[in-house]
Amino acid sequence: MTSIHTDILIIGGGIVGASIAYHLAREGKHEVLLLERHQLTSGTTWHAAGLVAELRASANLTRLARYSGELYEQLEQEGYNTGYKRVGAITLATSEARKAELQRQAAMARNNGVACSWLENGELAERWPHLNLQGVAGAAHMPGDGQTNPVDTTMALAAAARAHGAVIREGCAVDRLLTKAGKVIGAATQSGDVFAEQTVIASGLWSRELAMTAGANIPVHAAEHFYAVTEPMDIPGPPLIVRDPDLGVYIKPDAGRLLVGCFEREAKPLDARTLPADFSFDELPFDLEHFAPYLENAMTRIPALAEAGIRTWFNGPEGFTPDGRYLLGPTPEVKGLYVACGFNSIGIQSAGGVGRVMADWISQAAPPMDLWDVDIRRFSSFHNQGDYLRERTAESLGLLYAMHWPYHQHTSARGQRLSALHAQMAAAGACFGEVNGWERPNWFARAGQTARYEYSWGAQNWFDNARAEHLAVRRNVALFDLSSFAKYDIDGPDAVQFLNRLCTANIDRPVGSMIYCQWLNERGGIEADVTVTRLEDEHFRVVSGCASEHRDLHWLKHHAEGCDVNVRNVTERYSVLGLMGPEAWKHLSQVSSFTPTPFSTSQIIEIAGKPVRASRISYVGSLGWELYIEAADASEVYQALTAHGVQHAGYHAMDGLRIEKGYRHWGHDLTDENTPLEAGVSFTCDWQKPGGFTGRAALEAQRTRGIQRRLVSFRLTDDQAHMFHDEPIWRDGRPVGHITSAAYGHTIGACIGLGYVNGDFSSTRKETLTGRYQIEIGDQLIAAVPSLKAWHDPQNAELHQLG
What is the SS3 string spanning 71-104? HHHHHHHCCCCCCCECCCEEEECCCHHHHHHHHH
3-state helix, strand, coil in the chain (%, to 5): 30, 30, 40
| Strand ranges across the sheet with 647-648 | 601-607, 610-616, 624-630, 574-580, 478-481, 647-648
Which amino acid belongs to residue 465? N
Alpha helices in 219-374 (DSSP H): 288-301, 347-364
Instruction: Indicate the helix (H) or strand (E) that contains 8.
Output: strand 4-11
Q: Is 301 helix (H, G, I), strand (E, B) or coil?
A: helix
Is the model's pLDDT at 767 over the cut of 90?
A: no
CA–CA dist 648, 621 (Å, integer): 17
Q: pTM, whole model, 2 decimals?
A: 0.96
* Predicted local distance difference test score (pLDDT) of residue 762: 65
What's the whole-number mean pLDDT along residues 320-331? 98
pLDDT of amino acid 761: 78
| pLDDT tens-place string over residues 145-192 | 999 999 999 999 999 999 999 999 999 999 999 999 999 999 999 899
Rounded Cα distance, 714 and 757, in Å: 11
Our measurement of the distance from residue 631's CA atom to the centroid of its chain's CA atoms, rounded to an integer in Å, reads 29
Give the mean model confidence (pLDDT) for residues 572-582.
98
Q: Rounded to whole angstroms, how far apart are CA atoms 644 and 639?
A: 9
The yes-or-no verdict on residue 763 having pLDDT over 70 is no
pLDDT digits (tens, 9 = 90+) for 266-292: 999 999 999 998 999 999 999 999 999
* Number of Cβ atoms within 10 Å of the Cβ of 412: 14
Q: How far is CA 772 from CA 108, 205, 732, 736, 755, in A?
A: 20, 50, 5, 12, 15
pLDDT at 769: 81
Can you tell me the distance from the alpha carbon of 56 to that of 52, in angstroms, rounded to the nearest whole number? 11
pLDDT at 374 over 60: yes
Mean pLDDT of 196-205: 98
Please say whether the beta carbons of 290 and 226 come within 8 A: yes
The pLDDT tens digits for 4-27 are 999 999 999 999 999 999 999 999
- Tell me: the pLDDT tens digits for 507-557? 999 999 999 999 999 999 999 999 999 999 999 999 999 999 999 999 999
Interval 711-724: pLDDT, tens = 999 999 999 999 99
Mean pLDDT, residues 204-215 taken together: 98
pLDDT greater than 90 at residue 694: yes
Cβ(39)–Cβ(168) below 8 Å: no
**How much is the pLDDT for 236?**
86
What pLDDT, in 10s, does the model give residues 92-150? 999 999 999 999 999 999 999 999 999 999 999 999 999 999 999 999 999 999 999 99
Residue 237 burial (10 A CB sphere; 0-12, 13-18, 19+): exposed
What's the whole-number mean pLDDT along residues 597-607? 96
| Residue-wise pLDDT tens digits, 227-236 | 999 999 998 8
pLDDT digits (tens, 9 = 90+) for 617-662: 999 999 999 999 999 999 999 999 999 899 999 999 999 999 999 9
Query: What is the band of 457 on the pLDDT scale with cuts at 50, 70, 90?
Result: very high
Share of the chain above pLDDT 70, in %: 99
Q: What percent of the chain has pLDDT over 90?
A: 96
Residue 703, pLDDT above cutoff 80 = yes
Distance CA(506)–CA(499), nearest Å, equals 9
Q: How confident is the model at residue 473 (pLDDT cuts 50, 70, 90)?
A: very high
For position 1, what pLDDT does the model report?
A: 61
Q: What is the pLDDT of residues 396-424, one digit of tens each?
A: 999 999 999 999 999 999 999 999 999 99
User: What pLDDT was estimated at residue 766?
Assistant: 65
- pLDDT one-digit tens code per residue, 36-90: 999 999 999 999 999 999 999 889 999 999 999 999 999 999 999 999 999 999 9
**Residues 6 or more apart in contact with residue 562 via CB below 8 angstroms:** none
State residue 801's pLDDT score: 87
Asked whether 478 and 577 are in contact (CB, 8 A), the reply is: no
Q: Are 352 and 20 a contacting pair, CB within 8 Å?
A: no
pLDDT class of 594 with cuts at 50, 70, 90: confident
Cα end-to-end span (Å), the chain: 76
- Mean pLDDT, rounded, of the chain: 96
b/e sequence 718-728, b meaning 16+ C-beta within 10 Å: eeebbbbbbbb
737-743, long-range: CB < 8 A, 24+ apart: 737/709, 738/59, 738/108, 738/111, 739/714, 739/775, 740/668, 740/669, 740/711, 741/659, 741/665, 741/668, 741/669, 742/659, 743/652, 743/655, 743/656, 743/658, 743/659
Q: Tell me, what's the pLDDT at 752?
A: 98
What mean pLDDT is predicted for residues 340-354?
97
